[in-house]
Amino acid sequence: MASHSSISPKDPVFSYSQFACIGSGFSGIALGATLQRWYGITDIRFFEKQSQLGGTWHINQYPGCACDIPSALYSLSFECNPNWTRVLPTYAELWEYINGVARKYDLLDKMTFGAAVERCVWIEDKGRWRMWIRQKQTGQVIVHECQFLYSAVGFFDQPRELEIPGAERFQGPMFHSARWRHDVDLTGKRVVVFGNGCTGSQIVPAIVDKTASLTQVVRSKHWVYPPIDEKVPFWLMFTLANVPGTMQLQRFLMFIKMEVEFIGFGDGKFAKAFRKKRQRQVEAYMRAMAPEKYHDLLIPDFEVGCKRRIFDSGYLKSLHNEHLRLTDEPVEEILPHGLKMKSGEIIEADVIVMANGFKTNEFFLDCDIVGLGEETIHEHWTSFGGAEAYNCESLSGFPNFFLLGGPNVATGHTSFLIAVENAINYSLRVIEPLLKGKGSVAEVKREAEEKYVQTLHRALQDTVFSTGCSSWYNRTVDGKKPWNASAYPWSQAHHWYSCLFPSWKDWRLSGQTGKNKIVRQSHTLTRLLTLTTFTLGMVYWSRKNPNTVLASLLAQPKTILPWLAGAAVQSGTEAFAVIRGVWR
């Protein structure tokens, strides 16, 4: 946890904006664009510690770096893109896309780069957040105030350290995948790669042919699925660009396809049968593609879904390369020119690449967030037993503060950006009364937060995430049982619905009233029509296709009846709001 109580700027720069956001990746840019689309609000500032926007897709620029979610879904719903060249886009293509969105909504001028947010404090008598931001190059401190504070830092921000003695003695280049050294030529070099997760499995096939030798130190096992990436054909790109509605249809079909995979994350008989079938398919693929001598090193003994799945991008085929060696032998220490293994063997190396992941389940490691009563965010989380948030984004005692990509928002089967958009939309629905002048402060109640967190963690116990494997979803806190502050236990359809209608009994609105600052009203009628159409469409489709997985799921009363009942009640509430507004 950061400690910046000694901040004492000599000549600070003071500024104010109604909204402020920490970070300028997908989440932050989606926030800025949605504020304009919904309410015509442009009064927002972004503070980004990196030199450019892009977040994950600026930080990660290693060879082979690409998304593992189809581009049709790993994009913003209101900025569908017909020009994706691959099913799984590269980091460069993703960066160009998000940069284009930022330019379209004129967000670049609102961004301050190389600016590390060190401390944020809620000033109760002013109803504002006060931020201390340090310019990394000059040391200049900016003191910025805002009414609404958002964190869009994300999960993959802090590289994990390699806990092996002797790293400081290594005389060659040694770097993390998220800090890739483009000035280091790997041609003819003896390279060691630590890690074989999503990142390691992309790096190895991209570099193995140019190396003199490549040793990959396997630290865990992963399920490697058959590849889904391919070049997008010209006819499809042309259709998406010129036929109205096709991009939205493609996105919806992809959402359904990915969402079906969530069926395998539960604890019931149907879910276990789904996982066993998927596991047989994936294991057969791995055995067919990987060298037989590595089967025991690669094929997991835990269920599919317990860890993030990997789509093969040429990794298993690359293991046949005569330059490559796979080993799971523990590394005893790092020497000036290589590694010393537990057996005493010396593996010579010119370059070491750490593809060992990030510090997940941990948030705000280099920034203090201080709420009501001078309670810090880490003190708040300690009182709960670990990082958490109401609806995955709000904390009692921290008014007008929202986490985008916060605790328990990650999914193991679909696009993270769906959850991000849901979180943005929910937060704006919560503060809409304030924007209309009906107060100035919104705070979730402690009892509501406690109830939500208890329900969420009980639900997690009935998922594949709790079946015992070691993954970045779970982290042991103070030697106690593992605390999962990463995974969401329900479907993204559930998350969308939970973000559609704020439960006002869980919120406390206060502060001074004022003028309505909204230029464009929210889309109540659109939300109602979307919900109704989606519900009726699911029922109609399942009747026409009774033998599908979705139809089987909808046929189970315990699954569908509560959802339909809730949808009916909430739809009625929305309809009443629309009728009342027209009557007036």
509-559 pLDDT, tens digit per residue, is 999 887 776 765 445 555 556 556 666 666 666 666 666 655 655 555 544
Q: Tell me, yes or no, whether 142 and 174 share the same domain.
A: no
- Give pLDDT tens digits for 556-565: 554 454 445 4
Task: Collapse the DSSP code of 502 into the 3-class scheme (helix H, G, I; strand E, B; otherwise coil) and give the result.
Answer: coil
- Quote the DSSP letter at residue 480: S
Note whether residue 111 is domain-resident: yes
Are the CB atoms for 334 and 192 separated by under 8 Å? Answer: no
Residue 59 lies inside a defined structural domain of this protein: yes
Residues 314 and 422 in one domain: no
How far apart CA 357 and CA 65 sit, in angstroms, is 14
Count of Cβ atoms closer than 10 Å to residue 476 Cβ: 11
Q: Which domain holds residue 425?
A: 15-158+360-510
The DSSP secondary structure of 405-423, one letter per residue, reads T-TT-B-SSS-HHHHHHHH
Residues with Cβ within 8 Å of 382's Cβ and at least 6 positions away in sequence, in order, are: none
Same domain, 323 and 213: yes
**Domain boundary, last residue among 354, 375, 392:** 354
pLDDT at 10: 58
- The CATH number assigned to the domain holding 326 equals 3.50.50.60
pLDDT at residue number 360: 72
**150 and 181 share one domain:** no
* Partners of residue 120 on adjacent β-strands: 131, 369
Domain assignment present for residue 138? The answer is yes
- Number of separate domains in the chain: 2
Nearest Cα neighbor of 554 from 267, 338, 260 is: 260
Domain contains 317: yes
Domain boundary among 354, 386, 404: 354
Same domain, 398 and 482: yes
Burial degree of 322 (CB within 10 A; 0-12, 13-18, 19+): exposed
Are 100 and 136 found together in one domain? yes
Residues 439 and 313 in one domain: no
**pTM given for the model:** 0.88
Contact predicate 379/369, CB 8 Å: no
Q: What are phi and psi of 42, to 5 degrees?
A: -120, 0
Do 419 and 342 share a structural domain?
no
- Looking at 333, 354, 375, the residue that finishes a domain is 354
List, for the chain, all residue ranges whose pLDDT scores fall below the cut of 70.
1-10, 472, 475-480, 517, 519-584
**Does 119 reside within a domain?**
yes
Does residue 530 form part of some domain? Answer: no
Choose among 403, 367, 362: nearest CA to 381.
Answer: 362
Q: Quote the CA–CA distance of 136 and 114 in Å, as a whole number.
A: 5
Residues 415 and 471 reside in one and the same domain: yes
pLDDT tens digits, one per residue of 69-106 = 999 999 999 999 999 999 999 999 999 999 999 999 99
Whether residue 213 is found in the same domain as residue 115: no
What is the predicted pLDDT for the residue at 576? 43
If we measure between CA atoms, which residue out of 121, 141, 151 comes closest to residue 55? 151
Judge whether 25 lies within some domain.
Answer: yes
Q: Which residues in 251-262 are b (16+ Cβ under 10 Å) and which e?
A: beebbeebbbbb
Answer yes or no: is 336 within a domain.
yes
Task: Please give the pLDDT value at position 154.
Answer: 76
Regarding whether 208 and 342 lie in a shared domain, the answer is: yes
pLDDT value for 518: 72
The answer to whether residues 375 and 316 belong to one domain is no
